[in-house]
């Protein structure tokens, strides 16, 4: 059954969504917020970056609907509002891990007529000397 063509507007919205998730600091923040809400200062401490930088990324994710915000006194707390974005990142991580595992199998199987295996060092045994 043929799929209906997707409008240019929908394609742009999908691209914008992925663009929000394409920034490493945003992914780091999203990961930190995965299990619980955090205030801006906790995110600043955990990311070892400036408050201005964290706030900039929080604003982008808030506007995209990925995060939600609540205030308590003078503190702002953020949490993941769109669980799909967190699940999407999990799927991508799983796929990357599978690819790395497959590549590792190919590297283990590769040898120059047995020379690569012979050239590999044996296990490292800790020395009794201190």
Average pLDDT score over the chain: 85
Cα 62 from Cα 68, distance rounded (Å) = 6
| pLDDT value of residue 60 | 97
Is the domain defined by 8-82 classed in CATH 1.10.10.10?
Answer: yes
Share of the chain above pLDDT 90, in %: 60
Q: Which residues contact 116 (CB under 8 A, 6 or more apart)?
A: 110
Residue spans of the domains in the chain: they are 8-82
pLDDT of residue 128: 46
Give mean pLDDT, residues 34-55. Answer: 95
Tell if the pTM clears 0.75, that is, is over it. Answer: no
Per-residue pLDDT of 66-112, as tens digits, reads 999 999 999 999 999 988 887 888 899 899 999 999 888 887 777 55
């Amino acid at each position: 059954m043929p799929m209906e063509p997707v409008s240019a507007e929908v394609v742009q919205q999908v691209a914008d969504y992925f663009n929000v998730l394409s920034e490493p600091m945003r992914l780091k923040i999203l990961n930190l917020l995965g299990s619980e809400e955090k205030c801006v200062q906790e995110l600043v401490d955990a990311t070892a970056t400036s408050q201005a930088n964290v706030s900039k990324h929080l604003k982008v994710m808030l506007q995209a609907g990925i995060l939600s915000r609540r205030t308590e006194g003078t503190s702002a707390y953020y949490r993941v509002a769109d669980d799909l974005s967190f699940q999407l990142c999990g799927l991508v991580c799983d796929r990357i891990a599978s690819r790395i595992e497959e590549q590792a199998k190919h590297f283990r199987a590769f040898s120059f007529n047995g020379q690569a295996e012979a050239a590999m060092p044996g296990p490292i045994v800790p020395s009794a000397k201190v």
